[in-house]
Each structure stands twice: as structure tokens, then as C-alpha cells.
Chain A
Amino acid sequence: MTNNIYQFFFIYLYSIITLFLLAVIGDFVSISIFLSKNIFIYKNIFLYCFLYAVCFFAIRIIITNQVSNIFIFIISLALSYFLLINKEINAYQLLIIISVFIVFNLLLQKYFTAKNFSNFLFEVSFLKFLKTNSLIFFSFIIIFPFYLMFVSSLKSQMVLLQNPTDLSIPFFYSISDFFSSYIAVITQYNFLNFALNSTIVSFVTVFVSLFFSIPGAYAVARLRFAGRSKISSSILIIYMVPAIVLVIPLYVIFSQLGFRNSLFSLMIVYPATTIPVALYMLQGYFKGIPYELEESALIDGCSRVGVILRITLPLSVPAILSVSLYVFMIAWNEFLFAFMFLDNQEYFTIPRGLYTQLDDQEVPRQYLMAGSVMITVPVLLLFFIFERYLVGGLTAGSVKG
């Protein structure tokens, strides 16, 4: 008897969460694809699910073999019809809900029709269901902001104001309308100049920090010298120094020296903040290279520098790649120093430019979103192409964020 009550509540809970998620997704999908403004009324969801659970439960008691699948299908149809005549959802949402309901129920049936519906099976099926829904949930909370950013950047001001919940991609626009915000951001707000500055600063940062950290990392990883352990432990501490503690004195010093308002100031600060990370990531990798390789080269009369250039570096291309990407990402995304140091529009990096030029109530939101898309896309592209390296690097370097 207790098992039956468990089952009932489980089915009830299961239906609520699934239906809720499906309705939300169905809403978004149908709104975005079919431009319908019909929105599911969530208030009644508990009622529907209760109804559903009762029917499901009744059938499960009567028939415990595979035939019940047909009944599930009929119940789903009946429920859908009931929802449809209330005109609270549209046909597309209905389609999605029914199909996914059936799939889920088949899955569920597999567990319920097992010989003994023990606590264990209950747990397994519960976890399964939790897992699927959690994957949907995680994907949703991650994709949604990015999707909204992208969709808003394509809209015109009027559409955005009239219907902020419209998530459709405006396919019916002409090409120039489609990208009008992007064109406006590039032509009116000097965006290309910002992008150029960001690119220069990021590449210089990558080169400088590699140039500095490769020999340093090699020394820490391989060479014996007094204070080695001190240096390798202090790398991590330096890594925790807050940027805000550095920014005020650096602002003062750079103002006095007269190069605060320039790209040069960023080109020395960014490498300094990324070198400890790069060094830490690289020395971990260097340590993993078999020392025998280097040793044999040393015995054969190769110098240390020769060993580094001929053996260590070619072997650590993946690590160097991941460090470069990571450093590039830090430099490209960096906001605080750019925000504090740069006054002159000519030198703005993208984050700085976005903040000053576009974050203003006067500026239409779609421009801001277009700018945001343009700063995000290069990073995400790089990330997707080199994901394998980056994930390795991120884990190895216990990366700062």
C-alpha cells in the first residue's frame, strides 16, 4: 500500500515537473518558430497533472503489462484534447507535449513493470527522471541568456518595445534589416576601432606572457636552485591578489609617468596578471614530460637552451596552445583595468567601449545586445574549436575567474 502511495506521488511530481518544463520549452519553441502569442496558463498545471496521475495510476493498477502503453497514449490524447478545448495551448505545443509525454511514459513503464517495484527501483527511476529534467534545466538556463542576447540584437526597436517576450528570429527581414543593429554599432559607435585595440592588446599579452613564462616555468619545473619551492608556492599566492588592490596604485603610478591613458598600459598590466597563471599551468605540464628524453639529449652534448627549444617546446605544443587561448580569453574579456585606465575613445578596448558607448538608457537595447554578441562570438568560436585543449588547461591550472 505504501508503495502505491509513493508511486502516486512520484507520478504526480514527475508529471508536474515534466509538463512544466515542456510547457515552458514548448512556449519558447512555438513562439519562436511559429510566432504564436498563445501562452500556456501555468496556473492550471497542478490540476492537469493531478488528473494525469490519477488516470495513470488507475491504469497501472488494472493492467500491469505492456498493454498499458496504449492506454497511456489514449490518456495523453484525452488530456491534450481537454487542454485544447480550453484553448489554453496551441496545437504545436500540444504536439510537443504529447510526443514527449509518450516517450517519457514508455521509459517510466519500463521501471514500473519490473517484477518488484522495490524502493531501489523507485530510486533509480526517480534519479533517471531527475537527471533528464536537470539536463533540460541546465541547458535552458545556459542557452536562454545567450539566445535572448542574439535574438534581441536582430530586432528593430519597435518590435522590442511592443513585444519583449517575442523570441522569434525575424527571418522575414531583409538582410540589411536583419543586421541593422550590427551595422549601426560598427558605423556609429566606432566598434571596429575597439575590436582592433582589443585584438592588438590580446595578442601582445599572449606573446609577452608566453615569452616570460616559458623559461620561468621550465626553471621551476626542471632546474635545481635555491628558493625553488618558495617560488612555486608563491605563484599561487600572487594569483590571489585582487585586481582592485593593484588598480589604485597602478592608476596613480601610470598617471604620474604619463602613460595611463594608452594601450601600452594595458599591455604591461595584462601580461603581469596572466604570467603567474601561465607559469603555473606550463610548469605542471613540463613536469609531466619524461625527463629521460631531456637527459639523453644533455648527455649527447645538447645545451639546456637547446633542450628546451628542441625537445621540451615541441612536446608541449598542446599546453602552450591552451595557455595562449586562456591568456587570450582573459585579455579579451578584461574589463576592470581597461575601465580604469582608458579615457580616450581612440584607445578603448571592446569591453570599455561597450560600457561607455552603449550602456546608456538612450541607446537602444538591440545595439547593446549586438555589441555583446560581437564580443562573445570570437571567444565562443575559439572555445569551440579548441575546447579539448582548453578544458585540459582549465583543470590543470585551477584557473582564476
Chain B
Amino acid sequence: MFNLNKEAKLAYTMLIPTISIVFLIILFPIFGNFWLSFKEVKLGDLRAPQPIIKEKLKTKDIEPGDDILIEYRFKNSSQKKPIFNIEITDKISKFISPVEIAEGCSVNNNLLSCYFEEWKPKYNEKIIFKFKANDNFEIDNFNPKESKPRGAADADNILTNLKFSLKNFQKILQKNETIENIKVTFLYSFFATIGALLLGISAALLLEKNFLGKGFFRGLFLFPFVSPVIAVAFTWVYILDPFKGFLNNYLLNNEFISEPIFFLGLKKVDFLGFDFPFTLFIVILFESWRYFPLAFLFILARLQAIPKDLYEASDIDGATRIQQFFYITLPQLLGVISLLFILRFIWNFNKFEDIFLLTGGNAGTRTLTVQVYDEAFALSNMGTASSVAVLIFILLAIFVFIHQKIAPKDIEE
């Protein structure tokens, strides 16, 4: 019993670093995201209101004994919120002593300190402080801005107060765009997953048998997946560029088309009477291209684990290759394919960079993740951004729940 306890203790000690960093950087922010989604926080609110103090020397040509005027400018940085209990400290030159200073201020050991109870929003005032140059005044060493004035104040912080509202959710749900974005996100995740899986299965079947150069092809097929997304996305954008791009120029030179196609800027194309989301289709192609290697690797590993005698037996029974594929290979792969489907679906659902770099969310490709970014940084509204993120999180929780239900118990396989 004692041993077990010791072992458990050791296990907890070994896990503490991991658990604490995961808690701090993953679980706590998820909680923070929910918290923010119930608050009307703008990007500008992140900077807490604070006192701004500037000093300026008003007197020139100072001789010992002269009066020195220093103008202090006090300002509340916020346009909307008052700040309280303002404390200001400023080191002043040792060559001067105070004559007339503002109410609430005092000088001790060359340290000017002030206290104010409240500054209203937009508070902005210039106060002139009068000092006298001491007898030992040395013009060369005199520096009125000996130190930067420091100010500290209390303010009602919207991030930490306990006022909550549902307005963010109201706002995003009232937008027609949100429903459209959910639709786009689903279409994108679903078809990009299907595309990646189809390409992955074909690639795996190609490399199923051993042949010379198999290792080379296996390495090559992983290229799109291991390369930085920014490099491949830029290359695709460049290839698809309507004017400078390779593809359009190639098609034009061959007279396949008479004018350039805006591959990444065509929201809808009339295709046999219905609106075909063209750019979304291109983005889905990109995703399939970029992520098929993952499906390829998994399926290849599973393919090579299928017992060979299944094929031998079916050969004797006279099954053709295509029959073998549909009656032996595919059923054997079904487990890994369904697992890959749900994993890829979730990861595509979470994807931000790919679409953002390809289209910036334009031309009918704005997914929920891009909407989060737009709400936060284009519309400067952190509150609505987090509420969209909450929406993503809830949808995802549903998928993960499904995943937990259908995934085989030991995934290590």
C-alpha cells in the first residue's frame, strides 16, 4: 500500500508541470473566452484607463534665485471612464525647491508626490508649478526632466468586473453573415475532409506494394503537409493570380480561356443552373492537397497490416482486383477512415491560417474562425469575437462527443 502511494505521488509530481502549463495556457483561456463572450469588450478597452502626465519647463535663462515655472499636464487616458485614487510621483532636480504647487501635492527629499481623488473622463488640465532655483544652481547640470513622472490609479476594469450581458450573442446571431459562415464552415470542413481522404486512399493504394523508389515517393507525398503553410499558401496564391500567375497565363496561351479567371475572387459561378461556390471549391482543393499526406500515412500503415492470406484466398476464388478492393481492402480500412474523417473534420473546422492566407475570408470563404479574427481585429470587438469562438467551441464539443462515441477504444493502433 505504501509503495502504491509512493508511486502515485511520484506520478503526480511528474505530471504537475504538464498539467499546470496546460491549465494555464489552454483551460484557463477557454474559461477566459467564455468570460469575455459575456462582456462588451472593445479592443480599446484592453488598455486600462490611466493617468498621463507630462512636464514642460516654461522658464528660460535661469539664474540662481530665479523663479522656475514647470507646467504639468494631467490627463485621463480614457474618453469614457473616470479614474480614482490617482497617485503621481516625480523626481525633481536637487537644484530647485518648491514655491507654489498644486493642491494635494507635496515635495519630500526632491520627490514630488500628488494625490487626487478622481479624474473625470476626458479630464485634461495644465497646472503650472512654481519652483525657485537654489543658490547652488548649476545650469549645466540642471535637468527638469530628471525622471519621467509616474502615475498610478484605480479604474473600473471591464475585464474583471462582474457585469455580464448577452448582447454579444444577440449581435452575432442577428447577423445574416453568421448563419452563412456556419454553412460555409460546414461545407468547407466536410468536402476538404472528403477530398483529403480520397487523395490519401489513392496515394496509399499506389504505394501499397514495394517497388524501387517507394521511399522517395513516400517522402515526396508528405511535402505539402510538412511545409510551412505560409509558403505553400503564398505559392498557390501566386500560381492562381489572375494576371501574373502561372495558371491563368498558361491557359490563356493555350486559348483554353479568353480572359483571366479570378480563382480566388469568384464567389459564385453559374454551373448548370445553380450557383457553384467557385473560390470555396479552390480553397477546398488546397486543403485536400495540403492534408492528404496525413490520411495517406495512416491508410498506408493500415493497408500493410491487412493479412495477405485474405487476398490469396480470394485469388483462388477468382476475385478480380476491383472486387478485392471493394470486398476486402475497403472493409478493412473502414475503421481508420472513419477515425480520420472525424479527426480531419474537427481540424478543418478549427483551421484559420489556410483560408486567411489564401483569400482573407473573401469571396464566400469566410469560415467561423476567420469571422473571429474579423470581429476582433477588423471590427475591434473582442466581445463578439469571443462569442463566435464560443459558438465554434460548442459545435466542436458536439463533434468531439461524437468522436468519443464512435472512435475505437485503442487509438494507438
Contact = CB atoms under 8 A, between A and B. Distances in A.
**Chain A residues touching B, range:** 35 or more
Given A224-B7, A369-B234, A252 B14 contact: no
Interface residues of B, number: 97
Contacts of B153: none
Q: Is the interface of A mostly helix, strand, loop or mixed?
A: helix
A242 B298 contact: no
Interface in B162-218: 202-203, 206, 215, 217-218
A246 interface: yes
Nearest to A134: B206
Most buried by B among A160, A165, A400: A165
Contact of A245 (B22, B245, B291, B392): B392
Interface stretch (A51-59, A93-101, A313-321, A328-336): A328-336
A279 B17 CA distance: 12
Contacts of A131: 206
Interface string A115-153: 000011001100100010011001101110110110010
A244 interface: yes
A272 B404 CA distance: 23
Given A134-B202, A368-B238, A376-B228, A246 B11 contact: no
Interface stretch (A102-110, A175-183, A383-391): A383-391
A63 interface: no
A380 B223 contact: yes
Closest CB pairs A-B (n = 10)? A249-B32, A272-B25, A242-B350, A215-B14, A372-B231, A225-B8, A216-B18, A223-B11, A249-B29, A225-B11
Interface of A: 39, 41-43, 119-120, 123-124, 127, 131, 134-135, 138-139, 141-143, 145-146, 148-149, 152, 160-161, 164-165, 211-213, 215-216, 218-220, 223-226, 228, 231, 236-238, 240-246, 248-253, 255-256, 268-269, 271-273, 275-276, 279, 284, 287, 304, 329, 332-333, 335-336, 350-351, 354-355, 359, 365, 368-369, 371-373, 375-376, 379-380, 383-384, 387, 390-391, 394-396, 398-401
Given A145-B236, A249-B32, A271-B21, 7 more contacts: A127-B321, A141-B289, A237-B400, A250-B29, A335-B228, A372-B231, A391-B218
23 contacts: A42-B256, A138-B202, A139-B220, A145-B232, A145-B236, A149-B231, A165-B249, A216-B18, A225-B7, A238-B26, A242-B389, A245-B393, A249-B28, A250-B29, A273-B25, A276-B22, A332-B228, A335-B230, A354-B231, A359-B234, A372-B228, A375-B230, A376-B228
Interface of B: 4, 7-8, 10-12, 14-15, 17-19, 21-22, 24-26, 28-33, 35-36, 41, 46-48, 159, 202-203, 206, 215, 217-232, 234-236, 238-239, 244-246, 249-250, 253-256, 289, 291, 294, 297-298, 301, 320-322, 343, 346-347, 349-350, 352-353, 357, 369, 372-373, 376, 382, 385-386, 389-390, 392-393, 396, 400, 403-404, 411-412
